[in-house]
Amino acid sequence: MTGHRRCAPCAVPPHILERIARNGNDEQRARALSTMAQDSSHRSVRVHNALMRSVQRPATPPRLAPTSGPRRTIGDAKESEDLPGTTVRAEGDAPVADVAVNEAYDGLGATFAFFLDAYGRDSVDDDGMGLLATVHYGDHYENAFWNGRQMVFGDGDGELFNRFTVSLDIIGHELAHGVTEDEAQLMYLNQSGALNESLSDVFGSLVKQHLRGQTAEEADWLIGEGLLTDAVQGVALRSMKEPGTAYDDPVLGDDIQPAHMDGYVRTTTDNGGVHINSGIPNKAFYTLAVALGGHAWERAGRIWYEALRAPQLRPNATFRSFAAATSRQAQVLFGPEETQAVRDAWASVGVPV
């Protein structure tokens, strides 16, 4: 069993849940502890699935045709932990009365459309994989995750977290973990794990920007927009524009993401701080996107996407090796202006290229 499979990517980092368990009221603490226990169970399932994939890739529903578009199925767990739950909306069905079902359906569609339109990618696996999501998972479950086969959304507690389908960038973030897993199998540990998380933040933000037609300057660069309730002193789970500023709340604590290698956090928790140190490559991408201007998915995003797919990228990639991969891709795809902008962006966060 390898270390890079020990943690299932989830929307809410463990250090936030741990703070709620320490600082919240009795109900908040109980829900945070319950969510942490469930997340631990998900990690065990994730390890099993990863080991099975190393032997044989799991079967997926047959493709209809290369141009058939997304094949979405939304299940309702009805506050249980049974997956995938009862099917409540399938591809082509009209919207239903349940807003979470419709948000999940639309979010899966927006993510599929982004990867297809921007990079010609046919679903998560680039082979027409059907997109499955389950809503209303667990009793006030305070998270969302990709388990290697499908998306799962909790409803939040209504006090600190809204329903997790409300945030399109979270949906894009979690599905992007599937893309990273398919392309590079980055170890979910230390810097490679932080890159894994950062890549999901990058593509999650780009999904939202693509749907809204926003330029890099117009985008908010928030991850988890709309997820925090009005009772929380914060705007999102993370800010790619200004890591370390997304929230400062008596229950959630302060945002501890660094924006530069000078603040790199060395820890044994959170698989070596994968949700914390991702702020460094996040800031590098934001800096590049704004420097290049226009729609961030066209040049900055394309460079990051092709670096992810480059055969030279190793599962144990560091910030520096990924930075070098982005510099190479900028040279291949574009030219000296973009290449220098990539190097400047990484230099601005203390990562030499």
CATH code at position 226 = 1.10.390.10
Q: Tell me whether strands 151-153 and 131-135 are parallel, antiparallel or unpaired.
A: parallel
Sign of the alpha-carbon torsion through 132, 238, 308, 301: positive
Is 197 considered catalytic here? Answer: no
d(CA 102, CA 154): 15
Q: Indicate whether 4 pLDDT > 90.
A: no
Domain assignment of residue 343, given as a range: 190-347
Q: Indicate whether 284 pLDDT > 80.
A: yes
**Among residues 220, 219, 146, which one has the least CA distance to residue 176?**
146
Evaluate whether 315 touches 4 at the Cβ level (below 8 Å).
Answer: yes
Domain count, the chain: 1
Residue 261 host element (H or E):
none
pLDDT digits (tens, 9 = 90+) for 302-320: 999 999 999 999 999 999 9
The pLDDT value recorded for residue 45 is 46
282 within domain boundaries: yes
pLDDT digits (tens, 9 = 90+) for 244-263: 999 999 999 999 999 999 99
* Catalytic hit among 103, 142, 159, 174: 174
329 within domain boundaries: yes
Q: Indicate whether 52 pLDDT > 80.
A: no
The pLDDT value recorded for residue 8 is 58
Q: Indicate whether 63 pLDDT > 70.
A: no
Q: Indicate whether 61 pLDDT > 60.
A: no
Q: Indicate whether 80 pLDDT > 80.
A: yes
d(CA 182, CA 109): 19
The pLDDT value recorded for residue 114 is 98
The pLDDT value recorded for residue 9 is 74
Q: Indicate whether 194 pLDDT > 70.
A: yes
Mean pLDDT of the chain: 91
pLDDT digits (tens, 9 = 90+) for 153-175: 999 999 999 999 999 999 999 99
Q: Indicate whether 65 pLDDT > 90.
A: no
d(CA 321, CA 332): 17
**Among residues 273, 242, 264, which one has the least CA distance to residue 351?**
264
Amino acid identity of 36? Answer: M
The pLDDT value recorded for residue 342 is 98
Name the band, by pLDDT with cuts 50, 70 and 90, for residue 36. Answer: confident
pLDDT digits (tens, 9 = 90+) for 93-150: 999 999 999 999 999 999 999 999 999 999 999 999 999 999 999 999 999 999 999 9
Q: Indicate whether 47 pLDDT > 60.
A: no
The pLDDT value recorded for residue 298 is 98
In the three-class reduction of DSSP (H, G, I as helix; E, B as strand; rest coil), residue 133 is classed as strand
Is 4 considered catalytic here? Answer: no
258 within domain boundaries: yes
278 within domain boundaries: yes
* Catalytic hit among 4, 173, 275, 295: 275
262 within domain boundaries: yes
The pLDDT value recorded for residue 222 is 98
| Out of 48-52, 68-72, 146-150, 220-224, least confident range | 48-52
Q: Give the rounded percent of residues in the chain with a pLDDT score beyond 70.
A: 90
Q: Indicate whether 59 pLDDT > 80.
A: no
The pLDDT value recorded for residue 7 is 45
194 within domain boundaries: yes
Return the higher-pLDDT residue of 54 and 191. Answer: 191
**In the 8-state DSSP scheme, what is residue 247?**
B
271 within domain boundaries: yes
Evaluate whether 35 touches 143 at the Cβ level (below 8 Å).
Answer: yes
Evaluate whether 323 touches 284 at the Cβ level (below 8 Å).
Answer: yes
Name the band, by pLDDT with cuts 50, 70 and 90, for residue 1. Answer: very low
The full DSSP string for 37-53 is HHHHHHHHHHHHHHHHH
254 within domain boundaries: yes
Q: Taking each helix axis from N to C terminus, what angle separates 300-309 and 279-292, rounded to the nearest 10 degrees?
A: 130
**Among residues 144, 146, 136, 194, which one has the least CA distance to residue 45?**
146
pLDDT digits (tens, 9 = 90+) for 198-240: 999 999 999 999 999 999 999 999 999 999 999 999 999 999 9
